[in-house]
Amino acid sequence: MNNIIKRRNFIKTSAASAVGLSLATYPSYGMVGKPSKELKAGIIGLDTSHSVAFTKVLNDPEALADIAGVRVVAAYPHGSKDIEKSVSRIPGYTKEIQALGVEIVDSVDALLEKVDVVLLETNDGRRHLEQALQVFKAGKPVFIDKPVAASLPDAIAIFEAAKQYKVPLFSSSSLRYAENAQGIRRGEKIGKVMGADAYSPAHLEKTHPDLYWYGVHGVETLYTVMGVGCQQVKRTHTDDMDVVVGTWNDGRIGTFRGMRAGKLGYGGTAFGDEGISPIGPYAGYRPLVVEIVKFFHTGNPPVAPEETIEIFAFMEAADESKRQGGKEVSVENVMKKAQSALQGRY
């Protein structure tokens, strides 16, 4: 895999340009407007409940127009290799998805021969770069579920590879589409957002940076309403809780509270120049699936690459703050370190 990346030589940008990735840097992909035929979708990874949940929505014979035109026809089960709580789910989810009329195949390559678009659902972010490269080389638009990768260098590499291969890529948590979140983002609820507090469960997995595994959902909630531009991050960590405070380049402050004990939930509060609003409640998977369907029909990602990358830089900065005993950490410096790691690896 590393040789493939090295040959393609797609990591050439500076730290500043990586932070500044935007939709404008990505080509126009064609695929404009709904296709005349139904798009056949394939799933990589049956180690997460998302695979079954998304299939139930997409393959519903009574589906409304906003999710029509995409049907899951094939799935490759693997998936995590050594995260037992994920690996153990594969047999059960395989049976469930077969019952929905989905063919099970024995390789990613076999899957790619049967489908037009791909849902990369593998629970283990460490496998995403390898699997995404196979999809990019086949030229198939792909949605990559959270976490987009298990390291910041891999996250940047995935988006740079999509650009190199001219393949549409979209990654998002379903929390981005919680009730009120989009209205706040568009300035329709509370005017200009002056700050926000977001929260979610933040269970830890030893193979991933702390917040990548589950806290990513609450961090994405925070970024949905705050947008990009975080400069400094400071984290307070205990066994049961994380509180991460980010300072944006215009002086705004956003916080994420990650919970591992007590009553858990998703949501937050946004503070604007015209009012205060809850960010939630969480609206389930369907709103995200609607956005995935739009993306597959048009080839236009609804979230800019720079925003997704900064979300992961924010979480990496939070990890670095923890390592430094809660000191404030520069997001820009974290990005520079990730770029250096890329140049050394690929």
234-263: pLDDT as tens digits:
999 999 999 999 999 999 999 999 999 999
- Mean pLDDT (whole number) for 91-100: 98
At 124-179, the pLDDT tens digits run: 999 999 999 999 999 999 999 999 999 999 999 999 999 999 999 999 999 999 88
At 194-206, the pLDDT tens digits run: 999 999 999 999 9
Q: Which of 167, 185, 160 is nearest to 268 (CA)?
A: 185
Neighbours of 190 (CB within 10 A): 20
Fold for 175-285+313-345, please state it. Answer: Dihydrodipicolinate Reductase; domain 2 (3.30.360)
At 46-67, the pLDDT tens digits run: 999 999 999 999 999 998 999 9
Per the CB < 8 A criterion, the answer to whether 292 and 189 are in contact is no
Domain ranges of the chain: 2-174, 175-285+313-345
Edge to edge, the sheet with strand 70-76 lists 103-104, 70-76, 39-44, 117-120, 142-144, 169-171
CATH architecture of the domain covering 2-174: 3-Layer(aba) Sandwich (3.40)
Say what the pLDDT of residue 179 is: 83
- Distinct helix (H) and strand (E) counts, the chain: 14, 13
Same fold, 2-174 and 175-285+313-345: no
Q: Work out the pLDDT band at 5, boundaries 50, 70, 90.
A: very low
Say what the pLDDT of residue 119 is: 98
Q: Work out the pLDDT band at 345, boundaries 50, 70, 90.
A: low
Task: Give Cα 103 distance to the centre of its chain.
Answer: 26
On average, the pLDDT of the chain sits at 91
Using DSSP's 3-state secondary structure scheme, residue 207 falls into coil
Q: Give residue for tokens 């961090």.
A: 219
Does the structure show a pLDDT above 90 at 208? yes
- Report pTM: 0.90
